[in-house]
């Protein structure tokens, strides 16, 4: 079982344009889609499409459109009932694949709801193989919320605790790592990798793979088990105590990049739970991410839509660290 936690889920609307976005003008859309989203929800949707035993945990009242959408899609979930409606996000895609996102902040959660959400995760993660903590935090939650979740799960389950994957950004990401969360798998993009380590600038690490490996290696030295760094069109890196690898898919026609990183994480987890080694976990991650980028909106790929055989994987300088690869 792979459990995902999405503290700030959303109803994702994607609007497709036939021409570049023109600010201040009136344009007609050629198509629109609506899907239940949020990073953890997207991971769970991709895992479910890949045939994995998975469960999404999220807040939301029983008839919220996000939960209705998950039910209609056949994605298993457990929700913590709250009174407020979940947020809606809007994505605008242009013909060349340029993607513009407008994300709402989400409903505020109070301390009691935050504690109840942690309790639900602790309860449902008993016996799970992986726990995925992903996405932004809604108003009301402290920035160290993910660190609190990790402590609660590991304290309750001890050696039986699931492996933990973390995919967050900005204050939530920094607070989790500085708070000692030490996930078994961290999935930053290039900008987040730079933000955590001070190496590179912005997304420059997409072009500087050696520096990206150095940055990831520094994170291993802080107790993180493995770093899966997505590098946009430049593929992805996987750095563990056993080595470092880069993988890239042949060029694709990008339709929407929304959820591509989430699908990459799902691809890694699908391969890992299937017994694959590190290079093949990376291969499936890149195959999943590339397939997602070639699909409209936040659509996640099924396994048959991915092409792992097309992905090139090469070994890089190994990381000189001691943590074990999950």
Would you list the DSSP string of 112-129?
HHHHHHHHHHHHHTTT-S
Q: With left for phi above 0 and alpha for psi between -120 and 50, is residue 239 left, alpha or beta? A: beta
Would you list the DSSP string of 181-230?
---SEE--BHHHHHHHH--SSTTGGGT-HHHHHHHHHHHHTTT-SEEEEE
Measured over the CA atoms of residue 273, residue 51, residue 173 and residue 249, the dihedral's sign is positive
* Three-class secondary structure of residue 261 per DSSP: helix
User: Which helix H or strand E contains 17, and what residues bound it?
Assistant: strand 10-17
Which residue is catalytic, options 12, 144, 262, 280? 262
Tell me if residue 12 is catalytic: no
In 32-103, which ranges are continuous DSSP H helix? 39-49, 65-73
Neighbours of 134 (CB within 10 A): 25
- Do 59 and 310 meet the contact criterion of CB atoms below 8 Å apart? no
Active site residues: 262
């Amino acid at each position: 079982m792979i459990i995902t936690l999405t503290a700030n889920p959303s109803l994702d609307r994607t609007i497709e344009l036939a021409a570049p976005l023109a600010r201040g003008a009136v344009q007609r859309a050629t198509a629109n889609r609506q899907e239940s989203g949020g990073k953890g929800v997207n991971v769970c949707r991709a895992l479910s499409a890949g045939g994995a035993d998975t469960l999404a945990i999220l807040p939301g009242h029983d008839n919220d459109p996000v939960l209705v959408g998950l039910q209609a899609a056949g994605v298993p979930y457990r929700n913590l009932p709250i009174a407020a409606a979940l947020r809606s996000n809007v994505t605008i895609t242009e013909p060349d694949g340029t993607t513009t996102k407008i994300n709402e902040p989400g409903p505020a959660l109070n301390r009691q709801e935050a504690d109840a959400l942690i309790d639900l995760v602790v309860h449902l993660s008993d016996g799970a193989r992986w726990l995925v903590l992903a996405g932004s935090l809604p108003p009301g939650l402290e920035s160290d919320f993910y660190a609190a979740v990790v402590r609660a799960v590991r304290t309750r389950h001890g050696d039986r605790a699931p492996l933990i994957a973390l995919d967050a950004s900005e204050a939530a990401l920094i607070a989790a790592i500085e708070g000692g969360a030490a996930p078994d798998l961290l999935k930053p993009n290039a900008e987040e990798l730079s933000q955590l380590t001070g190496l590179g600038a912005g997304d420059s690490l997409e072009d500087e793979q050696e520096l990206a490996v150095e940055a990831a290696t520094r994170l291993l030295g802080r107790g993180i088990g493995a770093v899966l760094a997505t590098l946009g069109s430049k593929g992805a890196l996987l750095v563990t105590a056993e080595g470092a690898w880069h993988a890239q898919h042949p060029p694709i026609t990008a339709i929407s990049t929304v959820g591509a990183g989430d699908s990459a994480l799902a691809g890694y987890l699908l391969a890992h739970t299937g017994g694959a080694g590190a290079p093949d976990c990376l291969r499936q991650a890149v195959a999943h991410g590339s397939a997602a980028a070639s699909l409209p909106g936040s659509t996640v790929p099924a396994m048959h839509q991915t092409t792992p055989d097309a992905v090139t994987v090469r070994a890089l300088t190994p990381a000189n660290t001691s943590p074990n690869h999950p």
